[in-house]
Structure 1
């Protein structure tokens, strides 16, 4: 029987290496074998389950198991969780996580379609890359001209991101909404709007926020309050959130309502075709909207907070 078949010997060898801190040369000398055989036997001990290496990363990565469970349940490419403590600073923490993720995956010649909102603005402010990326393009997916919430508008966020990496930012010269469905058709037929949205359709990556129950949505609430004759029924429970300023139902489908007939943004069907779709959102008011977007496969990478993750898993107490 060779050394590699002697489990007691493998345990003794492994104990010297892992528990006592002996060097492989010392072990080789004691057992009169070569250093390469020591390495081989240590690997054998691990393969037989005699040695189990556990990395205690809870302090530096406390949400790994939670992320994996959400990722598996909703068949996502990646999930990133942040702490839920301190609701007033949640958007900033989500923005930091989003900026870091974008910095990690961004490559030369990438085209990124951008929505609007507080979290994405936070991400743009924090975003940074090591290398100059002059061919990276940032394309707005939603309208947003006007004085309302200027810093949260898609054009502004695209410009901030482009400035941080030396890339290119296109501008969508369009408001969020227009006066009628007929006016929307006219606007969308204009080349300076049509061409930008066409480029957004063919982006490599999309980055969006997700709105919660419309009464909590800062942008839609502000614009709806100013729109004469805009009739949107929020009381029947059909509308549970918005993505790219399109109100969606619990299946993640576009709701047949006046707002959606007037809003100027990339269509949900076109968003769905973008190869890598990143969404950053959190908080109890947005859980239904996030779940709806997941149901309709509008998200590939989800950046959320711990409590939202637990709600999505039905584990929140």
Structure 2
């Protein structure tokens, strides 16, 4: 091993090669050295810690943040918190990868899975790798259908895609999630074909749900579809809703919002969500913190999968 070179020379050679993208021949000409000497200098730069090389695989597993996970679990009384990020990758994609890995792991251990809808849930399902589970779990809807929220561009529903990835058959709920009249919801709930699916959905062992924030992404669509009158909309806002899960809204303290919106959603209830053994809630984006905090305070979510920016904002939320 040749004697260590002068540190200034090693740093200069490293900057020329790694920062400026010069070839070893060009570095040799610049420094008045042979190409073999430059090669040895660059080796010393790595061995002495002057240069550190990191490989960031954009398709690799997301990076976890254990300290933030522990703090988030403690703050919101979660069974588990998965706080992730990935280099040069949006938070939504990191959450989707982690969420799909978690659901795949859990799916092999349960007999039934419930699914809501939304952008983040859709991205999680897109990331699922095909795996043949035997026996295949039942895959059930926690919420009625919503053409703009539970379908891929191909027109295939999120529920069917998840079922196909696990070699299962989706059990569909052929009714809309949001209706304009509470009486219609009540009538549909009495239909045997709908009642049986909702009853089975309320008893799933594992649920994947999106955590929404008032006025963002799917939340405005939910309210819009209800066709609230001016008086009803005022009554809704007076309850100070901040977030939503399975089409149902909560305030900042996690208290479920009541009439008129609660009566116009065809979905499992808050009390039924609370009885599901594990509800995995997914969300991404720091801007969603107020709504997600409300959902987490409701106690409906046992395991949260969020990106690090959202997690830090949740910890800063009072």
Same fold (TM over 0.5): yes
CA-CA distance at 1:179 after TM superposition: 2.7
Gaps of 5+ in 2: 1-55, 57-61
Q: 1:305 is matched with which residue?
A: 307
Instruction: Answer whether contact 1:91 1:118 (CA < 8 A) is retained.
Output: no
Q: For the structure 1 residues 130 and 182, does the alpha-carbon distance in structure 2 shift closer, same or farther, using more than 3 Å as the test?
A: closer
Q: 1:157 is matched with which residue?
A: 158
1:121 and 1:228 map into 2 onto residues whose CA distance is 26
- The count of residues paired between Structure 1 and Structure 2 equals 253
Q: For the structure 1 residues 228 and 212, does the alpha-carbon distance in structure 2 shift closer, same or farther, using more than 3 Å as the test?
A: closer
1:178 and 1:105 map into 2 onto residues whose CA distance is 33
Q: 1:261 is matched with which residue?
A: 263
2:237 and 2:179 map into 1 onto residues whose CA distance is 24
Q: 1:5 is matched with which residue?
A: none
Instruction: Answer whether contact 1:242 1:248 (CA < 8 A) is retained.
Output: yes
CA-CA distance at 1:202 after TM superposition: 0.8
Deviations 1:46-69, CA, capped at 9 Å, x for gaps = xxxxxxxxxxxxx98451221122
Q: 1:14 is matched with which residue?
A: none
1:308 and 1:294 map into 2 onto residues whose CA distance is 13
1:71 and 1:99 map into 2 onto residues whose CA distance is 20
2:246 and 2:294 map into 1 onto residues whose CA distance is 14
1:303 counterpart SS class: strand
- Please report the TM-score for the alignment, with normalisation by the length of structure 2: 0.71
Query: 1:7-156 residue pairs with structure 2 within 5 A?
Result: 61-83=63-85, 89-107=90-108, 110-128=111-129, 130-145=131-146, 147-151=147-151, 156=157
Query: 1:228-267 residue pairs with structure 2 within 5 A?
Result: 228-230=227-229, 231-233=232-234, 235-236=237-238, 238-267=240-269
2:225 and 2:143 map into 1 onto residues whose CA distance is 19
Deviations 1:60-99, CA, capped at 9 Å, x for gaps = 8451221122123333222111228879x43332211110
1:177 and 1:73 map into 2 onto residues whose CA distance is 32
Q: 1:186 is matched with which residue?
A: 187
Larger CA deviation: 238-247 vs 63-72: 63-72
Gaps of 5+ in 1: 1-58
2:145 and 2:194 map into 1 onto residues whose CA distance is 12
2:83 counterpart SS class: strand
Q: 1:286 is matched with which residue?
A: 288
1:255 counterpart SS class: coil
Instruction: Answer whether contact 1:95 1:123 (CA < 8 A) is retained.
Output: yes
2:86 and 2:63 map into 1 onto residues whose CA distance is 14
1:301 and 1:150 map into 2 onto residues whose CA distance is 22
Q: For the structure 1 residues 107 and 142, does the alpha-carbon distance in structure 2 shift closer, same or farther, using more than 3 Å as the test?
A: same
